[in-house]
Amino acid sequence: MIIKNAKIITCSMPDEIIENGSIYIKGDRIEKICKDTFPNEILDKEEVIDAHGQLLMPGAICAHTHFYGAYSRGMGIPGEPAADFPEILEKLWWRLDKALDHEAVYTSALVCMLDAIKHGTTTLIDHHASPNAIEGSLDDIAQAALESGLRISTCYEVSDRDGKEKALAGIHENARFIKKYQAGDYPERIFPTFGLHASLTLDDDTLEACAAAIPEGFGFHIHVAEHQVDEFDSLARCGKRVIERLDDFGILNPASIIVHAVHIDAKEMMLIKEKEAWVSHQPRSNMNNAVGLPQVESMLHLGIPVCLGNDGFSNSMWDEWKAAYLAHKLWHKDPRRMGADKIAEMAWYNNAALVKKLSGSQVGTIQEGAKADVMLVDYQPFTPFQAGNLPWHVVFGFQNSMITTTIVDGKILMKDRKILTLDEEEISHQALQLAPRIWERYNQQF
């Protein structure tokens, strides 16, 4: 397949804009990039998409999400409103996840993937919980990924909050899914991490069991210090802060994702850096849960690869860019904070490097040999549009409605805003049939 007449944004380092270029996609990869148009003998043989001057850029990557959160949309929480994050966990998430069965897990993944395709988000790293349907739940999500065509990572969040039996079942589900992945049961675009909820719901013996169960080369995916209570809990347990406690059990490694890290201190940052672990930042979630903001710029300055996720919010990563851009300025009362270039560092370069580390796949860049994960964007700039100011165009100019085409592994998932791999109407109908049942099971727990 050839895509011609495109303004190509390479998102390579350094970023480059090719004014009127073409790419040749062969199989799942970008075979060749041409600074004008390919000769007719090639064009005649291939399927040709004329971009008509649209931007061609890498599909977006989300470093942390929860597909199962889909059913919370518009859902009321009975009783007094949650007053802080621990109450949000207790009243919302730890009851909603218990209302999920396998059908609900599969359907929630599908609706999120539909949303992701529409928003040009081509890779998502999911973190899953369904305490009443643990075994096989990661296959439900993988099945949705097989059908949607997206690049997906998933894991099961091990926790002691529902007792040892469920914690062990969670460990088993992670280990089982990793084994299937190792056996090559899934295509390369479906890859695992080993999920853990958070230090405050994990006992020492469970952390030990997780460290024993994870195969060499795989990473943990865990929420850390999203609220101060995680630090208080860890200090009360062992006199150490969360990152130190986790490190004692071997949870930090070069493939581990530390989610949020809002309340970690300088020593914890140094330890993350030393262990070469990754941090993922979700500003919309931080604002919604009113937990504060992590010291993202300090961590980047220290050389910690901070990535950008959405924590189950809409799958538009540009919305997350915009939130990051605004939130840190307001939080610090300083308009110099969090330049758009810092967000590009997270959302483009670090997210791409994370996926490379976890799956071996080179995505998030338009370069020869990289995976053909691409979106087309109908953006007509009315000010100079250069590699240097591109991140500010994303923040102030890019709109979700401009995304017209999404491609993963060289396969077209959406063309001219029409989704080709999934039946949108059917999935929405299915989800809408299921939701009242899930809400009922949720409400019964109060």
Give the binding site for Zn ion (CB under 5 A): 311
Question: 4 or 197, CB closer to Zn ion?
Answer: 197
Residue type, 121: T
Place of tokens 């949720």: 442
Question: 196 or 434, CB closer to Zn ion?
Answer: 196
Q: How far is the CB of 163 from Zn ion (least distance, A)?
A: 22
Q: How far is the CB of 223 from Zn ion (least distance, A)?
A: 6
* Rounded Cα gap, residues 190 and 312, in angstroms: 19
Question: 160 or 311, CB closer to Zn ion?
Answer: 311
Q: How far is the CB of 278 from Zn ion (least distance, A)?
A: 14
Question: 198 or 403, CB closer to Zn ion?
Answer: 198
417 Rama class: left (phi>0) / alpha (psi -120 to 50) / beta: left
Number of alpha carbons in the 13 Å side-chain half-sphere of residue 400: 15
Q: How far is the CB of 260 from Zn ion (least distance, A)?
A: 7
Question: 230 or 311, CB closer to Zn ion?
Answer: 311
Q: How far is the CB of 127 from Zn ion (least distance, A)?
A: 6
* Rounded Cα gap, residues 95 and 82, in angstroms: 13
- Please list, in sequence order, all residues whose beta carbon lies within 8 angstroms of the beta carbon of residue 405, skipping any fewer than 6 positions away: 49, 54, 374, 375, 376, 412, 414, 415, 416
Question: 285 or 295, CB closer to Zn ion?
Answer: 285
Note whether 60 and 122 are within 8 A (CB): yes
- Please list, in sequence order, all residues whose beta carbon lies within 8 angstroms of the beta carbon of residue 55, skipping any fewer than 6 positions away: 6, 7, 8, 9, 376, 377, 378, 379
* Rounded Cα gap, residues 306 and 357, in angstroms: 14
Q: How far is the CB of 259 from Zn ion (least distance, A)?
A: 5
Question: 233 or 311, CB closer to Zn ion?
Answer: 311
Question: 293 or 419, CB closer to Zn ion?
Answer: 293
Note whether 1 and 29 are within 8 A (CB): no
Residue with the closest Cβ to Zn ion? Answer: 311
Q: How far is the CB of 280 from Zn ion (least distance, A)?
A: 9
Q: Maximum CA pair distance of the chain?
A: 71
Question: 268 or 311, CB closer to Zn ion?
Answer: 311
Q: Which residues pair with 23 in a beta bridge?
A: 3, 33
Q: How far is the CB of 437 from Zn ion (least distance, A)?
A: 24
Q: How far is the CB of 93 from Zn ion (least distance, A)?
A: 9
Write 397-403 long-range contacts (CB < 8 A, 24+).
398/318, 399/318, 400/118, 400/119, 400/316, 400/318, 400/319, 402/377, 402/378, 403/118, 403/119, 403/120, 403/375, 403/376, 403/377, 403/378
Question: 105 or 376, CB closer to Zn ion?
Answer: 105
Number of alpha carbons in the 13 Å side-chain half-sphere of residue 12: 10
Q: How far is the CB of 18 from Zn ion (least distance, A)?
A: 37
Note whether 404 and 416 are within 8 A (CB): yes
360 Rama class: left (phi>0) / alpha (psi -120 to 50) / beta: left
The alpha carbon torsion through 210, 211, 214, 220 (nearest 10 deg) reads: 80
Q: How far is the CB of 338 from Zn ion (least distance, A)?
A: 21
Strands 306-308 and 278-281: parallel
* Rounded Cα gap, residues 399 and 396, in angstroms: 9
The alpha carbon torsion through 110, 307, 87, 128 (nearest 10 deg) reads: 30
Question: 150 or 155, CB closer to Zn ion?
Answer: 155
> Does residue 226 sit in helix, strand or coil?
coil
